[in-house]
Structure 1
Amino acid sequence: MTNYFQEEHYPEKLTKDLQGHFSNIITGLGEDVSREGIEKTPLRAAKAMQFLTSGYHQDPAEILKGAMFAEDYHDMVVVKDIELYSLCEHHMLPFFGKAHIAYIPNGHIVGLSKLPRVVDVFARRLQVQERLTHNILECINDTLKPTGVAVVIEAAHMCMMMRGVQKQNSVTTTSGFRGQFEKIETRNEFLKLISSDLA
């Protein structure tokens, strides 16, 4: 039997400062921060928030550059159903869903795992879905310099589901297209591929 252990490293001073802030918030809301179930919550929240915003300290372009390979391939590459989790910058509540990415190489391809990593870097910042879509699109376009890039994100927003209008079944879709994907036939091929289940 193996024991589960995940090692995390966070700056000590920042973690302590955040822990104090979360402790004050919890107390201000009327909860007893010394209660057994909440006693360690300020520290856990401090670490969680640093993880959820760790994208500020990562360079997505460098991630792509580290896995670019010269290749004479000029057809569409699609990675779909990339899970994403982010925090809405307006309420700091989660939004989550899937990203679909396609690009048409222009002399270079990139390791497929790097595209989800780029999504994670931008998602782990305070975001709005529109900017997240744009960030991913422009990073791939500027770094790989392909003949075309497409990004579609479908996400549910807890700020709409838990508060405000409280619409539990709403999904927001955003998209961006560059180069060859601005042509309707190429765009339609991409949209058809991400909406179909290929066996």
Structure 2
Amino acid sequence: MRIKIIIFCLIACLLTGCTWVVKVARYIHDSDKLDNYIYDEGTVVNKYIEKIVEAFNTNDRELLASLFPEHARSKIDNFDEQIDRIIRENETWPSSIIRYKLNEDNNYQTSADRGKIYKEVYANTTIEFADPKEGEVHRPSLKIAMVIVPVDDFHENNVGISIFAIDYGDFSTDGVDKENDGYDIYAFGH
């Protein structure tokens, strides 16, 4: 009986133009796809992805390095060599980037203490390439997994990418951040 009443109310609301019912119905329908990854985190990640793609398109080592905070640069082993390796690999790509997208398996973590906030955003993205003449994807996609710190009130100069992993196709991030200090670059198997 209750189900019939609920269905009747939904139909009445739909016929009278109650848009909030449609929004609630869509939310319930998509609830299995929703997670805690909210709009603000997605916006932060997209800005970083756009800067990474810009650095790749222009072979701009300094732009790529600037996405890492100074604190992370000092903690990452062989930081300059790792950035150079990514740019050298980029220079060998005979194709152009045609699209990049934020993958579904993303998340964030926030902690606060006495009014200070620390936030980490976990992001996975895929970059696809195309032959400039043919316009078709012709090589494996590039996968990037990263941890971005958009807010850190506890440590000065710690906003930016703290962990960056890049490789072709799917790869395991088990070897990333072996020191467990929260900072690392994993580039093409190393």
TM-score normalised to structure 2 length: 0.22
From the CA coordinates, give the structure whose radius of gyration is larger: 2
- Which has a greater percent of helix? 1
TM-score (norm 1): 0.22
